[in-house]
């Protein structure tokens, strides 16, 4: 009887071992990530931010809309952050300077001003943020440390801003 009991134990051990092995293989197969999973929706940005200051028309006015389109393309290509702020209230350099300072204090590494009021404010406050690259669109601030972007046409402006922002990133 002891031989029969020993054979039963061996068969039981082999059976349990087989069930465990098959269960492990099935679990691995089911839990293994498939290659057709959804793409990651997280966007990892670089430590660079391009900031746009506009007049009270915001992104609806030209050439601000073209500038913003170029900034968006540069952001997609280089993974830099972009943001914008429109000057509300009186459209004068003193008021616009507070908006410029607000954007610049948020660690903007590239600063773009569109419109005479915004460009004038940027030119007067630029020396407080010398580490940032400054671009003026459509109006020459008369400052050699500010890159002038001619607002010739929507396409030319968009392309010029995209290229300048991408290179500065």
d(CA 126, CA 109): 12
Count of beta carbons in the 10 Å neighbourhood of residue 91: 15
The alpha carbon of 132 is separated from its chain's Cα centroid by a whole number of angstroms, namely 17
Query: Which phi and psi angles does 134 have, rounded to 5°?
Result: -120, 135
C-alpha to C-alpha distances, 58 to 37, 55, 95, 145, nearest whole angstrom: 39, 6, 15, 25
Q: For residue 86, what are its two tokens? A: 């429109």
Cβ–Cβ < 8 Å for 53, 93: no
pLDDT value of residue 152: 82
Share of the chain above pLDDT 90, in %: 46
Q: Which pTM does this prediction carry? A: 0.72
Q: What confidence tens digit (pLDDT) does each residue in 36-60 have?
A: 666 666 656 566 889 999 999 999 9
**Helix or strand or coil: residue 18?**
helix
Provide mean pLDDT across the span 149-153. 86
Count of beta carbons in the 10 Å neighbourhood of residue 76: 13
């Amino acid at each position: 009887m002891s031989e029969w009991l020993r054979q039963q134990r061996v068969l039981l051990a082999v059976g349990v071992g087989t069930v465990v092995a098959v269960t492990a293989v099935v679990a691995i197969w089911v839990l293994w990530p498939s290659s057709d999973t959804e793409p990651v929706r997280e966007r990892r940005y670089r430590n660079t931010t391009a900031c746009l200051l506009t007049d009270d028309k915001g992104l609806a006015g030209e050439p601000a809309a073209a500038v913003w389109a170029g900034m968006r393309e540069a952001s997609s290509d280089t993974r830099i952050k972009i943001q914008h702020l429109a000057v509300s209230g009186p459209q004068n350099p003193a008021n616009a300077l507070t908006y410029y300072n607000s954007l610049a204090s948020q660690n903007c590494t590239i600063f773009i001003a569109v419109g005479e009021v915004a460009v004038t404010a940027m030119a007067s406050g630029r020396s407080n943020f010398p580490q940032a690259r400054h671009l003026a669109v459509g109006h020459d601030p008369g400052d050699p440390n500010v890159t002038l972007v001619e607002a010739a046409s929507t396409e030319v402006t968009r392309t010029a801003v995209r290229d300048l922002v991408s290179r500065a990133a």
